[in-house]
Amino acid sequence: MSDSWKTTLPCTRAEAEAIDAGAIEIDAVLMTTEMVEDDVEQWRLDAYTDDEPDAAMIAAIRALAPSAAAIEPTVEKLTDADWVAMSQAGLEPIREGRFIVHTQAHPVEPGPGERAFLIDAGQAFGTGHHGTTSGCLAMLDRLADQRFDNIIDLGTGTGLLAFAARHLWPEARVTATDIDPVAIEVTRENAALNGVERVDLIVADGARAPAISEAAPCDLIIANILAGPLIAMAPEIAAIAAPHATIVLAGLLANQADKVIAAYRAAGCTLEQSETRGDWTILRLTAAEVPVTHLNSDDTGRENWARDI
Feature table: binding site: 133, 155, 178, 224
Cα–Cα distance for residue pair 58/282, rounded to 1 Å: 34
Q: Which residues are annotated as a binding site for S-adenosyl-L-methionine?
A: 133, 155, 178, 224
Q: How many CA atoms lie within 13 A of 21 on its CB side?
A: 26
**153 vs 163: CA distance, rounded Å:** 10
Give kind and range of the element (H or E) at residue 222.
strand 218-224
- Indicate the burial class of 290 (C-beta count within 10 angstroms; 0-12, 13-18, 19 or more): exposed
What's at 273, amino acid-wise?
Q
CA-to-CA distance for 121 and 30, rounded, in angstroms? 9
The answer to whether 44 and 13 have CB atoms below 8 angstroms apart is no
Closest C-alpha to 285, from 266, 264, 306: 264
Residue 287 contacts residue 256 (beta carbons within 8 Å) = no
Residue 166 in contact with residue 129, Cβ under 8 Å?
no
Greatest Cα pair distance in the chain: 60
132, 21 in Cβ contact below 8 A? yes
